[in-house]
A and B are shown apart, each in its own frame.
Chain A
Amino acid sequence: MLTILFDGIAYGMLLFVLACGLAVTLGLMNFVNLAHGAFAMAGGYVTVVLMQRYGVPFLACLPLAFLAAAALGAVAERLLYRHMYGRSHLDQVLFSIGLVFMAVAAADYVMGSSPQNVRLPSYLLGRYEVFGIGIGVYRLFLIGVCGALTIALQLILARTRFGSRLRAAVDDPRVARGMGIDVNAIFAVTFAFGSGLAGLGGALGAEILGLDPTFPLKFMLYFLIVVTVGGTSSMTGPFVAALLLGFADVAGKYYIPQAGAFIIYAVMIAVLMLRPNGLFARGVTR
């Protein structure tokens, strides 16, 4: 039971890192970006290529995956996403589905359709037994990295000048512009940062989630669930939702494997029925 809890937390943390970029774009900027998983996939593939072809050690790959995905995100934001900010949700959905299609086909063309795996270094393998709880070293590593990221992210958003500017730009772009805040630049940096986090998540998660060209489609829903269930007003909501989801998924697979993803979808619908704006929503609907 405690082992499942531990694995669930590790999985949930991973989901949060993968989804928190989306929590910013979708949650704060109100942009339905179904293509978020494509950036995660990019991070995963960068890691695979660096490790297999160039022999770069795993730990060095992680920041590189972040940078690669962030660069990709920055380019995509400047060229494409920027034009879609004020559009209807339908336009945003169609636009990002189009991007997903392109990403899936492109990944298939470049990397082939077979699943890739990341070979973890030996010091991240193995398990410890602590008070009867089986603790995988890699799971522990995940919790450490993702926990640190979560805290850093929360501090950036809540404490720094950039964080308060971002919140201002999101709440009321017009007034923010009037106050001399460069809203465009802030959105661009935020988008790139979110994409970078997705890429890092993809690199960290390739071993657990698997990596093949359909990745953006397969996990699109998980990211969306994390954000919608968590609510779109703070980072706490998605974080709690990611932990819940991770735990429910791991426990569900362990106890009732025949139910598959059924439980998660049912829970999502139930939560959205009771609280249409997510678990931790402020009262206003935007």
Chain B
Amino acid sequence: MLKLFGRRSDTPVTPAGFLNSQAAWTAPEILFWLLALAMLAIAPNRAALLNEIAILGLFALSIDLILGYAGIVSLGQAAFFGFGAYVAGLLAKTVVAEPVTGLVVAMLAAGLLGFATSFLIIRGTDLTRLMVTLGVALLLYEVANKLEWVTGGTDGLLGIVMGPILGLFAFDFLGRTAYLYSLTVLFVLFLLARRIVHSPFGLSLRAVKDNRLRAASIGISPARRLVMVYTLSAAYAGAAGALLAQTTAFVSLEVLDFGKSADGLLVLVIGGSGYLYGGLIGAVAFKLMKDFLSGITPAYWLFWMGLFLVILVLIGRDRISHRLKLLAQRVKP
């Protein structure tokens, strides 16, 4: 019976053993990260693009935490992304130019905002949740737009000058430091997320996602789990926003736009949700696709993106990731 869930034939029968077997690193995973690092040597001129991919991947990862593991459909993740970006940008402009400090503060701030708004999402149905998350993001957009003296309004936050990372590594023009920095942050946060979803807490989240009532009846408090994971996911999105602000030295209202939330959701769906790598793979695919499409039709790539999305959903998202999983199983000995 347990063989159905476990990835290996020698799946232990204790709960801790099961979790450990799930959390074990596999060769393709290690290869994935080595390749991500090696990309810098393979395509040194595309470091700026790689940096964007890493940031987008982190953003999609934050959505995966709430969508893939807790089943909350949010249309407003840009709220936390944008909040983190503005916090990091303003901090660098006025208080401290060192990036890691700014990153931590931005994460905490976004996490706090996530915690404060998490109470809005534990009530109601899917639809209510959609509207409330969307509403929160739009509120922030309006606020950022009106607080022109703080945020620069529609002109964006100009004049951010970043110091060297930890006082050691200065950002260069090609964006190599930026990519290494973003990749490191992504990796560290990924490790943390991986640890969390393979912990008892992660399992309880999945129980809540599958059946709230049943989860509650075996002693899991769904509301508390949702608050915790929503806060965590907000902090992750804030980190992604902070990385964007720091590595591009610019923040515009776009970071709070509905399009940003939609992009993140799209990226995650392309890569598949609920296994952490979905966001990262999706980010690569999304950026490559966008590059390719806007190369053919600069003005109308959105059309093809929409068509792709419609077809993807019509065929069935699960079916694609299911096929890939079967393929992966066949490749593996």
Contact = CB atoms under 8 A, between A and B. Distances in A.
B127 A228 contact: yes
A34 to B, nearest CB: 9
A89 B309 contact: no
Given A80-B314, A94-B265, A106-B303, A269 B125 contact: no
Contacts of B307: 98, 102
Interface string B251-267: 00000001000100110
B246 to A, nearest CB: 29
Interface stretch (B85-93, B135-143, B176-184): B135-143
B73 A268 contact: no
B48 interface: no
Contact of B73 (A89, A100, A108): A89
B215 interface: no
A255 interface: no
Nearest to A286: B125
B306 A262 contact: no
B300 interface: yes
Given A89-B126, A95-B314, A272-B128, A265 B135 contact: yes
**Chain B interface residue count: which class?**
35 or more
Given A109-B303, A273-B123, A265 B142 contact: yes
B130 A89 contact: yes
B130 A32 contact: yes
B309 A95 contact: yes
Given A109-B303, A265-B138, A265-B139, 10 more contacts: A87-B313, A91-B317, A94-B266, A97-B309, A98-B306, A100-B306, A101-B303, A261-B138, A269-B120, A272-B128
Interface of A: 26, 32, 80, 83-84, 87, 89-91, 93-95, 97-106, 108-109, 217, 221, 224-225, 228, 232, 258-262, 265-266, 268-269, 272-273, 276-277, 285-286
12 contacts: A80-B310, A90-B67, A93-B130, A97-B262, A98-B310, A101-B302, A104-B306, A108-B299, A109-B300, A259-B142, A260-B142, A285-B125
